[in-house]
Amino acid sequence: EAGVTQSPTHLIKTRGQQATLRCSPISGHTSVYWYQQALGLGLQFLLWYDEGEERNRGNFPPRFSGRQFPNYSSELNVNALELEDSALYLCASSLEFRGLYEQYFGPGTRLTVT
Amino acid sequence: KQEVTQIPAALSVPEGENLVLNCSFTDSAIYNLQWFRQDPGKGLTSLLLIQSSQREQTSGRLNASLDKSSGRSTLYIAASQPGDSATYLCAVRQGYNTDKLIFGTGTRLQVFP
């Protein structure tokens, strides 16, 4: 069974540009989560999508947005990039099964803003 | 506001030692707790998940315990190997309808031959 996949692996942008990151969940999983891992700041929750709807978002400005498609894949958009947006962006998926909500993570997209 | 802390921040041990990694959280009203490992620059690999009603979970050389009332979890690694070298993260899920994970600060483990 294929795991969570993310693309691209690396992304280099300049300040002010827009970045689009993509995530494909494990087959059958309906929930997708986005996390940011910036140097020195640890893993921070960004967004949660379930059944095509945004269910929760972390403490990030509105220029971080995303969506979930009918096939449950997701994309994260970051507008007006700032230098501090440089980070590893991790996507995770899960499926509720008997009360368990174990999250499975992808390999991440390394975003560098210059 | 939930805060998750891991001690120690870094650990370097010789191969073969048994290890204990600690995770503490300030709000005991959690739904579950997950332990992950992260290799440098990579994603997270789920190791163990403990529901709030459980006391421990085991997988191979790994054993995780949970004491919800005192806000603590430990990850026990038996007979450590160089391949265990990684950063270990614990994360708590606060509630049924709050699906985000709140991560700890991580323990960076190095096991040398």
Concatenating the DSSP letter of every residue in B49-87 gives EEETT-SEEEETTEEEEEETTTTEEEEEE-S--GGG-EE
Contact A101 B31 (CB under 8 A): yes
Assign B96 a pLDDT band (cuts: 50, 70, 90): low
pLDDT tens-digit readout, B12-39? 999 999 999 999 999 988 889 999 999 9
Mean pLDDT of chain A: 92
Assign A97 a pLDDT band (cuts: 50, 70, 90): low
Contact A56 B99 (CB under 8 A): yes
Nearest CA-CA distance, residue B81 and chain A, Å: 23
pLDDT tens-digit readout, A40-57? 788 999 999 988 999 889
- Give the nearest chain B residue to A9 (CA atoms): B42
How many other CB atoms sit within 10 Å of the CB of residue A107? 19
Q: In terms of DSSP bridges, do strands B107-112 and B86-95 run parallel, antiparallel, or are they unpaired?
A: antiparallel
Assign A1 a pLDDT band (cuts: 50, 70, 90): low
Please, are residues A78 and A19 in contact by the beta-carbon 8 Å criterion?
yes
- Chain B partners within 8 Å of A110 (Cβ): 41
Where b means 16+ CB within 10 Å and e means fewer, B53-75 reads eeeebeeeebbbbbebeebebbb
pLDDT tens-digit readout, B52-61? 889 999 999 9
